[in-house]
Structure 1
Amino acid sequence: MGTVMNDVANHAKHLLNQSGQPKRRAVPRVSPLLHQAEHEMIETGSGKIAVWHLLGARYADPPVLLVHGWEDDTSLWTPLIALLAERGRSVVAFDLPGHGHSEGDRCSLELAAEAILTLDRRFGPFAGAATHSFGGPAITRAMLDGLKLARVVLIAPPVAQARQFERAWRRYDVPEDLISAALALGHDEGRFFDLAAAAPHMQAEALFIHSADDAQCPANEGERAAKAWPGARFWGVDGFGHRALVQDDDIVATVAAWLDSSSAFTSR
């Protein structure tokens, strides 16, 4: 019996560790617009991260930071980069640790936050940030660790990391006893981040955007986090799933307006 319990515990630890290892694309992608940008590899505690700094006509203004989601890359931001460039805004985009052209094989929230803070020291202060999916809790973690932002957009953020892992494990048919053991271990070790619990400590003006048909990150959880974030606004849409939000012209226009001037936001 003891051997079986030890096997479950060992498999649970492995499952938790494996969940922090993103799968890379065979050929990393970069937003085509960033081929015009200054590109460099910047050292962080998890290795070098790939960074692109696109100067806008209003180059004296602080740049906007773009943070992609899990197993994604800067190509996600192509429509927003184009619109911000039209507005003359400078943009900093990067590949998270373990993603794209960045080094490493792991990407915890702590490593992501450390990368964001490294960029803030190099290019900041940032005027604001746009995030998608995993980028939302990553920027929130960075703000808990000292990042200062005037405004931030969180598009389809996962809120309760434990629930996110649980949903993912069930999608891959992980046995229930192993899921229970991994969740218990994760809670015991303090591995799970809850964006809604961190939200009351935030000071940036925040706009949450979530699609009602998002199966990966439920919209009701995003709304719960927005209600806990002082002064945050929640914009619920439908029909965009998880990723298409960042490709829609109206949503991208709203995000660009929010980042350029928070007073420009009008919900529909």
Structure 2
Amino acid sequence: MSPIITKIVAKALGLSINLLSYVAPAKATALAYRYFSKPLYGKLKRDDLPGILREAQLETILHNGGNFQSYIWPGNETKVLLVHGWESNSARWKLLISYLRKAGCTIIALDAPAHGLSDGKEYTIPRYAEYVNVLIQKHQPNHLIGHSLGGATVLYTQAHYPNPYIEKMVVLGAPSELTIVLNNYRKMLGLNKRIFKNLKKHCTDRFGLDPMSFSAAAFAKKIDVPGLVVHDREDETVAFSEGMRIANAYTNAKFVATKGMGHRLHDDRLYNRIYTFLFNEEDEVSIEEIA
């Protein structure tokens, strides 16, 4: 779908929700939350998996009345757990996996709720973090790598389920503040003040946490595991300032600012940097540029 058509559809949906909010506010709020939390892309078919996932050992794990999909590429005793972002799936790690394999390590990945082969219709960071924590307890990985909302999820996971197994973390292109995500959603749909207020309350009830307090930067403050925070200056999805906010709060992390890689952050230079961070001795530089 082209950006223009996507924008038109979003505005039409927002108009419908706004009109509904005057006659059925509860239904309008539920509809607004549904489109906020339900991904449109990222699902996979088990009989048509990308090649990189067909190379893995697949395991479907039951948890809290649902199930999620995990993938394992066996290797040595060093283990890396990969956590993808919104409207994606574990196949997004194909290029990075080729670098991690050079270290001979065991690579583990999972599909987020309502993504890939995992079930569900709703994506939330707390639910995703439960899945990540299940795999951490099961496999005891040494390193965590998360992209976009997956980056925010690994920060949430380590802050709420501190795991002694984790030695290093990599956070790629992650958003920091839930309020910013909500405001971007509001602008995209053109939601009115009435429905936006109700949506924030619904998120509070759903997460058990005020959106004003739901912050990846706040989670990062609680973490002392060495980290690498990466954000592109030209990220069109998550503002560069969001990455800076996380890096400033994450006192034991180094910050890598890239340019021209966009939000996806697929680049040989960056993957080499991640490899060095995880498997080689580190220098004392705290802020780096990859352009």
Alignment TM-score, normalising by the size of structure 2? 0.81
Does 2:120 match 1:104? yes
- The AA in structure 2 aligned to 1:146 is Y
1:144 corresponds, among 138, 159, 170, to: 159
1:134 corresponds, among 149, 152, 159, to: 149
List per-residue Cα deviations over 1:221-268 (Å, max 9, x = no partner). Answer: 11111111122111111112211x1x2111111112222246169634
What does 1:45-194 correspond to in 2, within 5 Å?
Answer: 45=64, 47-56=66-75, 59-61=76-78, 63-124=79-140, 126-148=141-163, 149-183=166-200, 185-186=202-203, 190-192=209-211, 193-194=214-215
Deviates more, 1:134-143 or 1:111-120: 134-143
Q: Is residue 159–residue 220 contact of structure 2 (8 Å, CA) maintained in 1?
A: no
Deviates more, 1:199-208 or 1:139-148: 139-148
List per-residue Cα deviations over 1:164-222 (Å, max 9, x = no partner). Answer: 12112312333354334423554576253211122211111111111111122111111
Work out the CA distance in 1 between the residues paired with 2:66 and 2:41.
16
> Unpaired segments of 5 or more residues in structure 2?
1-19
Deviates more, 1:18-27 or 1:249-258: 18-27
Deviates more, 1:34-43 or 1:72-81: 34-43
Change (3 A) 1:265 1:115: farther
Q: Number of residue pairs matched?
A: 260
Work out the CA distance in 2 between the residues paired with 1:210 and 1:80.
16
Q: Is residue 21–residue 194 contact of structure 2 (8 Å, CA) maintained in 1?
A: no
TM-superposed CA distance for 1:10, in Å, is 4.6
- The AA in structure 2 aligned to 1:109 is I
Work out the CA distance in 1 between the residues paired with 2:195 and 2:280.
47
| Other-structure match for 1:41 | 60
Work out the CA distance in 1 between the residues paired with 2:222 and 2:162.
12
Q: Is residue 43–residue 89 contact of structure 2 (8 Å, CA) maintained in 1?
A: no
TM-superposed CA distance for 1:120, in Å, is 1.1
Work out the CA distance in 2 between the residues paired with 1:93 and 1:242.
20
Work out the CA distance in 2 between the residues paired with 1:233 and 1:31.
33
Change (3 A) 1:187 1:231: same
Give the fraction of aligned pairs with identical amino acids, expressed as a percent. Answer: 23
Q: Is residue 44–residue 117 contact of structure 2 (8 Å, CA) maintained in 1?
A: no
> Unpaired segments of 5 or more residues in structure 1?
none
Q: CA RMSD in A?
A: 2.4
Q: Is residue 129–residue 259 contact of structure 1 (8 Å, CA) maintained in 2?
A: no
Work out the CA distance in 2 between the residues paired with 1:184 and 1:43.
30
Q: Is residue 226–residue 234 contact of structure 1 (8 Å, CA) maintained in 2?
A: yes
Change (3 A) 1:98 1:253: same
